[in-house]
Amino acid sequence: MACSDLAFCERNLREMNGRIDRENNKQRYQLIKSADKKEHGATASRPRKQLPKLKSRAAIFREVLGREDSIKKER
């Protein structure tokens, strides 16, 4: 995909990065919320469990692109 207009490319990239950040923040919030439910009241002798790793930015990027492709195909 070659963009003829550099400003158009930059705007699309900023928009995609914003989507990725929102997706990542949503995941992080859900993981922390579920960990709080499971491990309520962590103490020094019984520390809070380690949170699972978040998806990489590239994985979320591919996921978001896949969703957009499927939406375009439906139209």
Range of the domain at 24: 1-43
Average pLDDT rounded to a whole number, residues 13-19: 85
5 domain-assigned:
yes
| Separation CA 68–CA 75 (nearest Å) | 11
- The reported pLDDT for the residue numbered 12 is 82
pLDDT at 14 over 70: yes
Average pLDDT rounded to a whole number, residues 1-21: 77
3 domain-assigned:
yes
6 domain-assigned:
yes
Domains: count for the chain: 1
- The reported pLDDT for the residue numbered 26 is 87
- The reported pLDDT for the residue numbered 3 is 55
Phi, psi (degrees; rounded to nearest 5) at 46: -130, 80
Q: What is the pLDDT of residues 20-64, one digit of tens each?
A: 888 888 888 888 777 766 655 555 555 566 666 677 777 777 787
